[in-house]
Structure 1
Amino acid sequence: MESKTNSVDPKLLELLVCPLTKGRLSWHADTGELVSERAKLAYPVRDGIPIMLISEARELKD
């Protein structure tokens, strides 16, 4: 069962960038993902750990 307390440390969020575009990421608490608008990818966060692998990212639809 996945925990709803999944979150990202704000200091860590300032340092993380999209591995594809090197652009800014935004935290989406409702889905528990870090989103790169430029790459149209959402990276999962599991147990508070961002999974910054393109192969693990979910494509965002328009």
Structure 2
Amino acid sequence: MAINKELLDILACPKCKGDIRLTEAENGLICDHCKLLYEIKDDIPIMLIEEAKPITD
């Protein structure tokens, strides 16, 4: 089950409060400003800053 579009519209990055987007594989949420990946586990986004993974270019 993919993340609900309405939920995605209201979620924001907990660090900068900016927009986030769904990964192509739909297994995480990305904040382009903070360069962080918030994983989705069991259809639940893990929106904890300390659990986020840094994205490298």
Q: Distance in 1 between matches of 2:24 and 2:4?
A: 12
TM-score normalized with structure 2 length: 0.91
Q: Which runs of 4+ in 1 moved over 4 A?
A: none
How many aligned positions are there?
57
TM-score normalized with structure 1 length: 0.84
Q: Distance in 2 between matches of 1:31 and 1:24?
A: 16
Structure (1 or 2) with the larger CA radius of gyration: 1
> Which of 10, 18, 31 does residue 36 from structure 1 map onto?
31
> Unpaired segments of 5 or more residues in structure 1?
none
What amino acid sits opposite 1:12 in the alignment?
Answer: L
Q: Distance in 2 between matches of 1:32 and 1:8?
A: 9
Q: How does 1:36-55 map to 2 (within 5 A)?
A: 36-55=31-50
Q: Which residue of 2 aligns with 1:58?
A: 53
CA RMSD in angstroms comes to 1.2
1:10-43 CA distances to partner (integer Å, 9 max, x unpaired)?
Answer: 0000000000010001001416010000000000
What amino acid sits opposite 2:21 in the alignment?
Answer: S
